[in-house]
Structure 1
Amino acid sequence: MRENLSLKAFVVLMKASKSVEEMVRQDIKGYGVSITEFSILEALYHKGRLTVNQICEAVLIKSGSMTYVIKKLQEKGLLDREACAEDRRVIHVYLTTEGKKLMDDIFPKHQEAIENIFSVIDSDAKQSIISTLKHVGLQDKA
């Protein structure tokens, strides 16, 4: 039987994804926040003030659990939220000074951990992986 390269590529991608996810999970665990909390903080850190819906899109989390996590982060003093003046149904979320300080401290460490994970791959291979995965991921959008 001939080797099915598509199936093999899928299996290797899923195994690599699981492995990378576990390494990232271990890294983030050391910062005292969950993956979901870190994802929200990271989105706000890099994009600034966002609506709850924009955060949901950025971190791929359903809005029901998003409200709970945002409330927990607000209780920790890391972010705050306010209703939009034009549309009270829209809630804007932003990092507090404490949240910004935390991310200023932990994001460089997290970035270094990601660099270490991918240090086994040279720049050309990384560029190729990015291009290939974008091509695979965007095919349903065409």
Structure 2
Amino acid sequence: MESLNLDAIAVVTNVYRIAQGLKNKMEREVLSEYGLSWTSFSLLYDLWIGNQVETKKLAGSAGVTKATISNITKTLERKELCYRKVDNRDRRITYVTITDKGRRIMEDLYPKFHQGEVEIASNLSVNEQKNISALLRRIIKENHF
């Protein structure tokens, strides 16, 4: 067996730990008040920015399957935060659109979510934040994440 690359192990382990940690922190401290999971928030955020988005694109953005998006969308529809509409020309394509209620929720929720982001990165200087972002983007790009 070849020797272990401890630096690679440390990078991957730490990225995983921070991803899980921030997801759990935000769900517990911000999203639970609105009855949203991390993935449902991510979907609602994409709709808030894009207004109407194809399910395939939502799945790619959230890193989940179209089936998962379908399930989350059903839950968000029951809460009247979005609705689905099949494309008139191609019935295989479904679009999801944010509702006015969904938009109001995001306008109330996002400043609290952003404050959580600021707190998570607060121990790093602006330069360190830029450096870590650039390095993470490189990993994302080179691995097609």
CA deviation map 1:21-75 (0-9, x unaligned): 2212212122222222211111101122101111111111211122121112112
Residue in structure 1 matching 2:107, options 77, 100, 104: 104
Call closer, same or farther: CA 1:115–1:70 in 2, change over 3 Å: same
Task: Give the partner amino acid of 2:138.
Answer: H
Call closer, same or farther: CA 1:14–1:37 in 2, change over 3 Å: closer
Equivalent pairs, count = 141
Task: Give the partner amino acid of 1:133.
Answer: L
CA RMSD of aligned residues (A): 2.0
> How high is the sequence identity, in percent, across the aligned residues?
19
Q: Secondary structure at the match of 2:83?
A: strand
The question of 1:28 aligning with 2:70 is answered: no
CA deviation map 1:72-131 (0-9, x unaligned): 211211101211122122111111111111111111111111111111111100110011
Call closer, same or farther: CA 1:51–1:2 in 2, change over 3 Å: closer
Task: Give the partner amino acid of 1:62.
Answer: T
Task: Give the partner amino acid of 1:23.
Answer: K
TM-score norm. by structure 2 comes to 0.86
In structure 1, stretches of 5+ residues that fail to align are none
What is the 5 A alignment of 1:28-67?
Answer: 28-67=31-70
Moved more, 62-71 or 95-104: 62-71
In structure 2, stretches of 5+ residues that fail to align are none
